[in-house]
Structure 1
Amino acid sequence: MPRLPRLATALAVTAAFTVLAAGTAVSAGDPTVSDPRVVAHFDFAAGQTPENIALEPDGSADLTFAYAHQVARVDKDGTTEVLATLPDVANPQTPNIGAAVTTGIARAHDGTLYVAYATGTAAENGIWRIPPGGTPELMAHLPADGLPNGIALDEECGTIYVADSVRGVVWRVPVGEDAHTVWASGAALEPTVEIPFGANGLKLHNGAVWVSNTGQGTLLRIPIGPGPDHAAGPVETRATGLTMDDFAFTGHGDTVLAALVLEDKLELVRPDGSHKTVLTQADGLRNPTSVAVHAKKVYVPSAAYFAPPNTTPDPNLLLARISKNKD
């Protein structure tokens, strides 16, 4: 059984200092989330703590199991198959964690998976490529003193964007090249003393890179500029008071579903920044880490890092319905 993750310990200790200021506005156009049910349970003792999610065209979910450093696929009936295991690291030194963990995942149209592997070691830390049915291979090294977390793939531009939770930057990685540059940086992306995890979840949406900052409790939008360099525009704060891990958009507009990892909640965040709770621990959430939306369904993986005393941790995948989006 892996030791209690240092990530979970750090967040649990600092949670008492964080207050979530939920918005009170109500919108008749809000999509509704209903009929939640847990479709798969995972083995906490084996490190099967689901951290991030990408969806297959048939609705199957590809998950990163953080502490097992695996990628697994969960089909629509809950059957789980391990697709790949990243190599063991002899002496991982991941900042804030101290263990090797698989974090973000993105899927290309041809089925290739790209996975962030945070190890704190020069040889393994970075973005790994997993071809369909193939063996994982390191595509691009990233600095060992960072923590690559959420990622998003822009296939048209051949770019992967990577949120670094320790360095507080967004990396730009060319697909197929062992190279990286800082695409965005600044105080808005940095961690805090209380919660030492800054830029975390990351999505591409409507001409911008959107990033959650766990430590600062914010949702950020960074416009992608024109031209061949696609430079980052000014960072915009779109919501506050949300100690979220990752998030997903409900449709073409800017409404978001956010996984509040400390609060065992799924929060609906409106374009004006107001927000409300739509799922809770009572529905099966146990430290939700990410969200995906597909074909009127919501997928929420829970890592169950902070199990109550005398209970068995229950990492799982929850599925719910979402109404037609009005945004």
Structure 2
Amino acid sequence: MSHATRRRMAVIAAAVACTAAAACGSTDDTAQPAPAAQSVRIATAYELPGDRAYPEGIAADPRSGDVYVGSYSTGAVYRATPGTKRAEVFLPESADGRKTANGLKVDQAGRLWVTDSTAGVTVYDTATRAALARFDVPGAGARFVNDLAITPDGTAYLTDSVRGVVYRVTTGQLAEAAAHGGKAELTTQFDLNAVLAPHAADGFTLNGIVADASGRYLLVVDMGAGELFRISLAPNAADAVRKVELRGGNLVHGDGLDLRDNTLWVVQNTDNALARWTVTDDGAGATLDKRVTDEALGLPTTSAHSGDQNLVVSSQFDKGGPMGPGTPKPFTIVAVEGI
């Protein structure tokens, strides 16, 4: 592994392993209560090729049933098609200069968005695999472009875990970039630093992000403090960012989010946990319904629904990856039933 790769993977280790209150703003890292456990089944859904995949992000295309998975360690993107058990390489390592593949989403037009934590986001045509446009974080300094959500009108919102901001890319900006060389800069739409819990200057905060189906608001998790924020998308909203009232637990180590109607699934990475919450109609509150902790989740980083399957990314970052020595098992995406 090259020195540059080791440095990039050390960054993700800090992101998923921040547990100390002083470093990450968390005040309670103890086990949280959860409703009585019910039967949960975890089984392999897809195998990933290679012995250094260390997957991080996942996206499902509802039109085709295809599932895309990104490799944090190499930047490759894999695709699994319906009826198969093994994913194949869709975009090779370092495609279009990307160093990582973190958050992934497929938009309503069938375009695949792939974040590179070190730079920004690239948008691909899934039919041709061609890069349509790339949006980079402006200026120098630390950044960690982590996850993204796409609203019903096609606007993309992306979290930066180091800068504590949410970027925005509109459909108009995408069309403009695609028509003029394919390169543009990300613009900050929401700065959450004023409401985030105290944390180290280089600590990781914002991580997973989702949009509600009506396009009224976004939900974004602060992985260090275990808090959830609601961001209003109404024009000129007076109280655009507000903390969501959490009942029955917290979201410490919260990573990827998956929202369906009023049900929110949250992956809590170093806890090897997947939690299901019920969100109020206005997005102002959430109640923990069920939380499963199981080593079989393999240090999960995010989840996505493909049809009725709840697919979870088993990163194995702690098995010879950015979080510790060892030898990983074959890399997989697992399906979780019963939560």
TM-score bracket, normalised by the shorter chain, equals: 0.7 to 0.9
Equivalent residue number for residue 95 of structure 1: none
1:146-199 CA-to-partner distances (Å, cap 9, x unmatched) read 21111122352x421111111000011223132433211133457832982111
Q: Deviations over 1:44-83 (max 9, x none)?
A: 743x122111112243311111121122112343221211
Matched, 1:242 2:246: no
Candidates 220, 233, 243, aligned match of 1:224: 233
Aligned residue for 1:246, secondary structure, equals strand
TM-score normalized with structure 1 length = 0.78
Is the CA contact (8 Å cut-off) linking 2:120 and 2:145 kept in structure 1?
Answer: yes
Query: What are structure 2's unaligned runs of at least 5 residues?
Result: 178-183, 280-284
What residue in structure 2 maps to residue 128 of structure 1?
122
Displacement, 1:313?
4.7
Structure 1 position 238, deviation (Å): 3.8
CA shift in 2, pair 1:12/1:170, >3 Å:
closer
Counterpart of 2:134 (choices 129, 135, 139) is 139
Q: 1:63 aligns with which of 63, 69, 83?
A: 69
The equivalent of 1:281 in structure 2 is: 294
5 Å-filtered alignment, 1:31-46, equals 34-42=40-48, 45-46=51-52
Task: Give the aligned length.
Answer: 298
Amino acid at match of 2:155: T
Would the aligned equivalents of 1:165 and 1:190 in 2 still touch at CA under 8 Å? Answer: no
2:267 is aligned to 259
Give yes or no for contact 1:25–1:274 (8 Å, CA) kept in 2: no
Q: Is the 8 A contact 2:192 2:241 kept in 1?
A: no
Aligned-partner Cα distance in 1 for 2:144–2:16: 19
The alignment status of 1:318 with 2:339, answered yes or no, reads no
TM-score by length of 2: 0.76
Structure 1 runs not aligned, ≥5 long? 93-99, 120-124
Deviations 1:77-125 (A, max 9, x none): 3221211134375xx9xxxxxxx32211121233211111123xxxxx2
Question: CA separation in 2, counterparts of 1:161 and 1:217?
Answer: 20
CA displacement at 1:264 relative to structure 2? 1.0
Sequence identity (%):
21
The answer on whether the counterparts of 2:258 and 2:266 sit within 8 Å (CA) in structure 1 is yes
- Deviations 1:207-240, CA, capped at 9 Å, x for gaps: 11111111222222111113xx789813223433
Other-structure match for 1:197: 204
**1:11 CA displacement:** 5.0
> Could you tell me whether the CA contact under 8 Å between 1:14 and 1:195 is conserved in 2?
no
Counterpart of 1:7, as a letter, is V
Q: Does 1:160 align with 2:156?
A: yes
> Aligned AA for 1:63?
V
Q: What does residue 307 of structure 2 align with?
A: 295
Whether contact under 8 Å (2:17, 2:270) holds in the other structure is: no
C-alpha distance in 2, partners of 1:194/1:148? 16
Change (3 A) 1:167 1:160: same
Question: What is the CA–CA distance in structure 2 between the aligned matches of 1:262 and 1:160, rounded to whole Å?
Answer: 27
Which of 203, 217, 221 is the aligned partner of 1:212?
Answer: 221
Give yes or no for contact 1:304–1:314 (8 Å, CA) kept in 2.
no
Give the structure 2 partner of residue 122 of structure 1.
none
Deviation at 1:280, TM superposition (A): 3.1
**Match of residue 114 from structure 1:** 113
Partner letter of residue 162 of structure 2?
V
Mapping for residues 41-56 of structure 1, pairs under 5 Å: 41-42=47-48, 45-46=51-52, 48-56=53-61
Are the aligned partners of 1:141 and 1:179 in contact in 2 as well (CA < 8 Å)?
yes
CA distance in 2 between partners of 1:9 and 1:190 (Å): 21
